[in-house]
Amino acid sequence: MTNKTFLMAHGVIYMFFALALFFIPGILWPNYGLQLNDQYAVFLSQHNSIFLGGIGFISFLFREAELGSDTAQKILNGLFWTNVLGVIVTLYACFVGIFTGFGWSDPAFFALLAALSILQLGKNR
């Protein structure tokens, strides 16, 4: 896959979740076993959309990074580590019982994106 395709797909995925966490947190979070009991919990969900949306925008803005360039290596490496952190944090949520039900899909989702990032990094070497 080209860097452009990978970064566009990565950006779209992150933007989708940013929008969902902002506009429909009350529908999304219960699928993961989480309750939004007050306005503060809803705000924290919306606050997280800042970071997810930011990753989406960064992925989109760097989509033209040339194969093998230092810029491409750095952005792909950053995305890899972002996704590894996602695996760690969401696995923790699953193991301590915060995430239930559909929550186990989150570590799998981040692991898939981390694996795809590694594959894309390999193509850029």
| Average pLDDT in the chain | 96
What's the pLDDT tens digit per position in 90-107?
999 999 999 998 999 999
Give the model's confidence band at 125: pLDDT under 50 very low, under 70 low, under 90 confident, else very high: confident
Give the pLDDT score at 116.
97
14 burial (CB, 10 Å; 0-12 / 13-18 / 19+) is buried
Count the domains in the chain. 1
CA distance 101 to 67: 39
Type of residue found at 29:
W
For the record, the structure tokens of 115 come out as 């694996």
For the record, the structure tokens of 23 come out as 């506009």
The end-to-end CA distance of the chain, in Å, is 14
Average pLDDT over residues 35-44: 95
Give the model's confidence band at 52: pLDDT under 50 very low, under 70 low, under 90 confident, else very high: very high
pTM as predicted: 0.91
Residue 76 belongs to domain spanning: 3-123
Give the pLDDT score at 67.
87
CA distance 106 to 93: 10
